[in-house]
Chains A and B, each alone.
Chain A
Amino acid sequence: LSPQESALLRSLGLSHKPSPKSPAPVPPVLWRIFHKRRTLPGPQAELESCRVEELNVPGSIVRVFADQGRFLPEGQPQGRLCLRKLLFFNLSALEEGERLTMAQLELRFHHSSYHGPSPGQVLELRLYRASPRGLPRPGRGPLLERSFVQLRKSLLFDLSAALKAGEAPARNLALLLEISASGGPGSPRSLCGASDAFAATSLLLVTLGRQCGAARSRR
């Protein structure tokens, strides 16, 4: 890189020039925030520079991290357990001095489940803190538990409190996701139909960059 390019990248908070290898599609929510900000007149854009109106939280950087985990154990889950997956997010892109204000986990399925489990049956979803190898943290209950009669194409979970918004997040985040079916007659495997449509997971983090802390005098 030329010295000028290095200096410019540093001023934009980047240590070196990114070279995306498998770029994911841009989540629609980021497009909405981006286009909304572009329509704001200069002074108003300035006022909202440290706030994400769309998500109603303070923030100047919104990142969407792709899940780098794997299914556990390898092969088909057994019994009433429909899905067991390690979710692993590499958060090393976060810089020193950034303050977390929002963490939202999204589970995406290939399609909504129109015919959920049989009457009286529900799908139960549990999320645990885990070690990077997928072992649940001993002695810790689930971060969250939900029951669903039908699964929608996209499920959003607010993990801000769990990740203690306001503190600097760790270099990575490992979670254990379990989806199981309970109640009602029928074979356990048939109960899991809806969760077989599991597609992908991503983590959206909103942080306040250093520029939002420093008050600067203006002429």
Chain B
Amino acid sequence: SAPSPPVTPSPLCKPRRLYISFSDVGWENWIIAPQGYLANYCGGECPFPLAAELNSTNHAVLQTMVHSLDPQGTPQPCCVPVRLSPISILYYDNSDNVVLRHYEDMVVDECGC
């Protein structure tokens, strides 16, 4: 199971919990395993001044500063994934072969501005 990041109701840019259930999307008859997985997503603010733990780029630091001076003209930087993990999915393909495939960047581990 993917590590579950510290998901607290903080307004800052952080991973947010999101569980993807394959049966919810109607794929349970061809995906053998897993039945679902913790994908997470990024959400939250990138306020001025950007705290060090917000994994920000230099440009984001500039943009938050400009946003603080001109909030209408320049938006805050985006909160996006900066570290992701892969998952493996075991499934039947269109020819009933059994396939184990590795998919990159399927779990959000860390977010940044």
Contact = CB atoms under 8 A, between A and B. Distances in A.
Contacts of A21: 96
A24 B34 CA distance: 17
Nearest to B91: A18
Instruction: Say what secondary structure dominates the interface of chain B.
Output: strand
A66 B88 contact: no
Interface stretch (A36-44, A102-110, A121-129, A130-138): A36-44
Interface residues of B, number: 36
Contacts of B82: 219
Contacts, number: 102
Contacts of B96: 20-24, 66
Interface string A1-30: 000010010001111111111111011001
A20 B99 contact: no
A65 interface: yes
A131 to B, nearest CB: 21
Interface in B27-48: 27, 29-30, 32-34
18 contacts: A12-B101, A16-B94, A18-B92, A19-B94, A22-B96, A26-B32, A26-B98, A33-B88, A34-B88, A37-B102, A38-B1, A42-B3, A42-B107, A60-B101, A65-B95, A66-B96, A93-B94, A219-B57
Interface of A: 5, 8, 12-24, 26-27, 30-31, 33-34, 37-38, 41-43, 45-46, 49-50, 60-66, 90, 92-93, 209, 211, 219
